């Protein structure tokens, strides 16, 4: 995890949380690729999910973080891309299990749904937890 390059993106609803989580990533030793948005101007969350998926497809990053108000829209948009397994998490348990069982490669957070501390804990669990493999391998393979 330390040294890993992680992309992060949000819509306008997630800008503040994105800034906080960039610090968490940096403290964890990650290189951060910020794909925007940068201000409070209203933007469309699919554009930011698409930007992250494009970076993953290009091999620039293997994992990322997406944030919108609920996490729902940006997570739906991300999961339309082949190879993206985006998990909307509201607590550390779902973040941990998204890695252990689903090999999630994108953590999705709702800035209007969780506080900064919970988001931080979700992010650290996402970064630190390995995929369990075994019986989960076959299921994840079926996701395409």
| Binding footprint of ligand RB5 on the chain (CB under 6 A) | 11, 13, 45, 68-70, 72-73
Concatenating the DSSP letter of every residue in 64-105 gives EEEEESSSHHHHHHHHTSTT--EEE-SSHHHHHHHHHTT--S
Catalytic residue selected from 30, 68, 89, 122? 68
Cβ nearer to ligand RB5, comparing 112 with 139: 112
Q: How far is the CB of 120 from ligand RB5 (least distance, A)?
A: 20
> Do 14 and 67 contact (CB within 8 A), yes or no?
yes
Q: In the block, which residue shows the tokens 């990322």?
A: 64
Residue from 88, 90, 86 nearest 117 by CA: 90
12 catalytic? Reply is: no
Cβ nearer to ligand RB5, comparing 30 with 74: 74
Q: Which residue's Cβ has the minimum distance to ligand RB5?
A: 73
Annotated catalytic residues are 68, 101
């Amino acid at each position: 995890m330390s040294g890993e390059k992680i992309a992060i993106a949000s819509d306008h609803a997630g800008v503040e949380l994105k800034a906080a989580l960039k610090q968490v990533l940096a403290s964890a030793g990650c290189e951060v690729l910020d794909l925007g948005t940068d201000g409070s101007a209203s933007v469309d969350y699919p554009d930011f999910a698409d930007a992250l998926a494009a970076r993953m497809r290009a091999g620039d990053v293997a994992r990322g973080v997406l944030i919108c108000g609920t996490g729902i829209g940006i997570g739906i948009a991300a999961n339309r891309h082949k190879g993206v397994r985006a998990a909307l998490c509201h607590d550390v348990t779902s973040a941990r299990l998204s890695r252990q069982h689903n090999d999630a490669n994108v953590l999705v957070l709702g800035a209007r749904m969780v506080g900064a501390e919970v988001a931080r804990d979700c992010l650290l669990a996402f970064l630190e937890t390995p995929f369990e493999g075994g019986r989960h391998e076959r299921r994840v393979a079926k996701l395409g």
